[in-house]
Amino acid sequence: MSKLLASSRARSQAEICILEGEHLLSQYATHVGLPDTVVVAERAQEKLSPAGQQYVLSDPLFDALSGLSTPTGILGLGKVPQAVFDACTPRLKVLALDDVQDPGNLGTLLRTAAAAGVDEVWCSPHCAFAWAPKTLRASQGMQFALRVHEQVNLLQALESFKGSVVATALHEAKDYRRWQASDSWCLIMGSEGQGVSPALLARAEQKLCLPMRTGVESLNVAVAAGVLLYHFGGPNLE
């Protein structure tokens, strides 16, 4: 468990996510099922929840394991959900992420996508791990409510996609408010530094921009995604 908590490579290879805190455990149980393992500190035994295996650790040992500056007293291990990938699914709303490498940004993007009614998130091979502890904390576990696909060759996936493909760009782009979303669409958002790759921009039917005041270089990728996704049409609240 200590190795999994300390090493993103170990978590990725084992396809395990760390669920630290009652909220993440609850989200996992609601959308995925019981975690494989739950561990609590002695001081928090009342928090012990159903799991494949359950352990109580001394407070000092639990605190040494915890990845938080203020440990919650409970954490779990769960298998990363595996969704079937099918780019041909009709009426699909997709957020495609091209090498978004900051776990906090990725987590916020996943949380925003879940709130805005996105069906699937496609992460390119150089994106941050969608199930890393920092990503899970930033998303509040909302990736469990989505179909998240990692290591996706975005160009290849888009060959089979049945819908409109748009991407954000700084140049030769249309004001997003002048574009009307169809029933099925894929929005491509790029990395924090480089933006959407030229190859993906060439594949997009339309390049969109968010007008900004002079002197402002860019918006945070998660903030920009929130504006665009709700413009495309968020969930019906009626």
Beta carbons of 166 and 208 less than 8 angstroms apart = yes
C-alpha 146: how far from its chain's center? 8
pTM: 0.91
pLDDT at 236: 63
Rounded Cα distance, 218 and 224, in Å: 9
pLDDT tens-digit map of 171-227: 889 999 999 888 899 999 998 788 999 999 999 999 999 998 988 878 899 999 999
**Tokens coding 64:** 């040494």
* 237: pLDDT strictly greater than 80: no
pLDDT tens-digit map of 66-85: 878 899 999 999 999 988 88
pLDDT tens-digit map of 90-127: 889 999 999 999 999 999 999 999 999 999 999 999 99
Rg (CA), the chain: 19
pLDDT tens-digit map of 133-182: 999 999 999 999 999 999 999 999 999 999 999 999 988 899 999 998 88
